[in-house]
Structure 1
Amino acid sequence: MTTPFDRRHGRPTDGEEHDWQETSRRNARSVQTTVGWIFWDPGAVARYEARGLPGPLGYIASRGAPLAPAGAEALTAAFGSISSAGIALTFDLLKGDAAAFRDFWQARDEAVDEGLRRYAPGIVDPLVEMGPALWSAVDRLPRLGRVLFGATVSMPRPPNPLLSGWHAVNAIREWRGDTHWALLAAAGLTSSEASIVHNAWLGYEDDWLSRSRGQTETEIDEGWDSLARKGFAAERRVLPNALRLRQQLEDATDELAVLPWQLLGRGFSVRFAERLEPACELLLARVDKTAGPNYQPASRVRERYRSPEESEGR
């Protein structure tokens, strides 16, 4: 399926009949899972604690290392919904030392290499074999407006073939993430608003997602108040128009994020799905064990949101 966007920008379509948006949606789950399981893994947390930071702040330091020289405000802007207070505290504890941030980056690499081989050994060969092609696509992705992605790909690529493949997947994840946050910003949503609406779209208990990302009660209250002023919430309940918007933003992300897969080609994209999904099921089970079933929602299959009118067939 070729969209007007494809034709305008000359994307390789690799066949008129292929549903690239569905490929984007499907492979986004494996991309998220291949990377995201490490956020709560005890192997990573132990390494962060040995370096003086608790797990959540170690996550900020390790993921944020490429952008650390730009400072806490830049990282807050790039991370989107992660606690600005947590990011500021991380910079304070590490004294803004970029080398200290890179040490946490290296610690995460150690935990990734160890954890993948132990908990999902079936992912090792695919990442090693597919890594060079993944990097070839990453190198052709546009940088414009994607700051965290741009900073991430500027980091040295590890000689370890497994880690190299993992980092290529991580780069694709950050590219999609930057794209998604650009869409949310264009829709006029703030960090706290976005978390509240996303939480409702997922069907989670009240304010769970906001709190899991370290947002304060004041920030959450402000988010509810501003959503109400915009007509997206009433009496601390997200309204259907906000949920429709959230689904539209997800669909737009899937559409814009087809580019890595089109660059890789249909055959490669299908093999990526088929070879990584079984191992990613093991990694997602690892998330359930180390964090809980609400975490890493982007890895989980879910039905598209349908408004009450759509559900009733009107």
Structure 2
Amino acid sequence: MEPNWIAIARRNARSVQTTIGWIFWDPGAVARYEAIGLPGPLGYIAARSAPLAPAGPDAVTAAFGSISPIGIAMALDLAGPDGPARCWEARDEAVLEGLTAYAPDILDPLAELGPHLWAVVERLPMVGRVLAAAHLRMPRPDDPVLSGWHAVNCLREWRGDTHWAAVVAAGLTGVEASVLHNAWLRYESDWLPTSRGSSPEEIAAAWDGLAEKGLVEVGDDGERRVTDQGIALRRDIEERTDALTTTPWELLGVHRSLQFAEDLEPPCERLLERVDLTAGENYQPGSRIRDTDFA
């Protein structure tokens, strides 16, 4: 029987996201960024954008999709020419430290799967996947665990680039997509775009844009709400992302793809608990199983 590659891509996307995303709020990483002179989320921006930072804040903003342009410009300005590379190195130190402390059973799987994942990443189509391509060109760590982590990070950025292509194809801006995602997740109003640094003016403009597209309605109480059509569009973008990101797992093969799931899911549950503690339970929605998920 032919494997259900879309289901495998959807399942493994959670572990890909969690293996990487917990570090965004990790106190060990944050403390290292602050020592460099970049507080809070600015260090995350600098570290993640390091491969693309020489192209400037506009390029990074375009690649990140929904992160505040003001925050990106501020992070790169404060970091200076050498700051993003220093944050990249500081983050790598925090990754090894944190994985060892909080999810030691992920160490061997990352080291063992790493070479196979790199063989996959090297074969992925990179046209239109600028952030993934920028990450792919970075030097690979000698440490096998960190090398495996970086291979997973390339998979994450490749899926992210693909996702934003689907968002753009749907005619949405990054903030509009965040408003729809927020409604789909049933978060409190505007929580998601606010968490990504969008200003009240940018969020208001996104609501106006969605209204012009017929994706917002006014309730009996006078409040604007995302329509069922808008939520369906956001679900469709997620389904399309899953369908467009089966290639890595097909290249890896069904045995190793299922091994990836089985080996990484248990430690990733603990890493997600770290996100709950360091950021909050709303953060990293791509790692969470919710009743909005597909059967």
Tell me which interval the TM-score lies in, with the shorter structure as reference length: over 0.9
Question: 2: distance between equivalents of 1:138 and 1:296?
Answer: 23
Match of 1:102 among 82, 85, 90: 85
**Corresponding residue for residue 40 of structure 2:** 55
Match of 1:238 among 199, 221, 226: 226
Question: 2: distance between equivalents of 1:286 and 1:104?
Answer: 21
The offset of 1:302, in angstroms, is 2.3
SS in 2 for 1:253: helix
The offset of 1:303, in angstroms, is 3.4
Residues 243 and 305 of structure 1 are in contact (CA less than 8 Å); yes or no, is this contact kept in structure 2? no
The offset of 1:251, in angstroms, is 0.5
Match of 2:100 among 114, 117, 132: 117
Residues 244 and 305 of structure 1 are in contact (CA less than 8 Å); yes or no, is this contact kept in structure 2? no
Question: 2: distance between equivalents of 1:287 and 1:92?
Answer: 28
1:160 aligns with 2:143: yes
Question: 2: distance between equivalents of 1:302 and 1:141?
Answer: 30
1:268 aligns with 2:280: no
The offset of 1:91, in angstroms, is 1.9
The offset of 1:94, in angstroms, is 2.2
Residues 37 and 284 of structure 1 are in contact (CA less than 8 Å); yes or no, is this contact kept in structure 2? yes
Question: 1: distance between equivalents of 2:62 and 2:265?
Answer: 31
**Corresponding residue for residue 282 of structure 2:** 294
Deviation readout 1:68-118 (Å, 9 max, x if unpaired): 0100000000000001100011122123x1x22111000000000000000
Deviation readout 1:117-175 (Å, 9 max, x if unpaired): 00000000000011000000000001100000000011000001110000000000000
**Corresponding residue for residue 6 of structure 1:** none
Gaps of 5+ in 1: 1-15, 307-314
Deviation readout 1:154-208 (Å, 9 max, x if unpaired): 1000001110000000000000000000000011100110110010011100000
State how 1:1-314 maps to structure 2 within 5 Å. Answer: 16-95=1-80, 97=81, 99-235=82-218, 236-304=224-292
Amino acid paired to 2:252: L
Amino acid paired to 1:41: D
Gaps of 5+ in 2: 219-223
**Corresponding residue for residue 10 of structure 1:** none
Residues 143 and 149 of structure 1 are in contact (CA less than 8 Å); yes or no, is this contact kept in structure 2? yes
Question: 2: distance between equivalents of 1:242 and 1:64?
Answer: 30
The offset of 1:304, in angstroms, is 4.3
TM-score (norm 2): 0.96
Residues 38 and 112 of structure 1 are in contact (CA less than 8 Å); yes or no, is this contact kept in structure 2? yes
Residues 48 and 58 of structure 1 are in contact (CA less than 8 Å); yes or no, is this contact kept in structure 2? yes
Question: 2: distance between equivalents of 1:129 and 1:18?
Answer: 23
The offset of 1:25, in angstroms, is 0.3
**Corresponding residue for residue 221 of structure 2:** none
| Structure-2 change in CA distance of 1:301 and 1:253 (3 Å) | same
Question: 2: distance between equivalents of 1:75 and 1:106?
Answer: 19
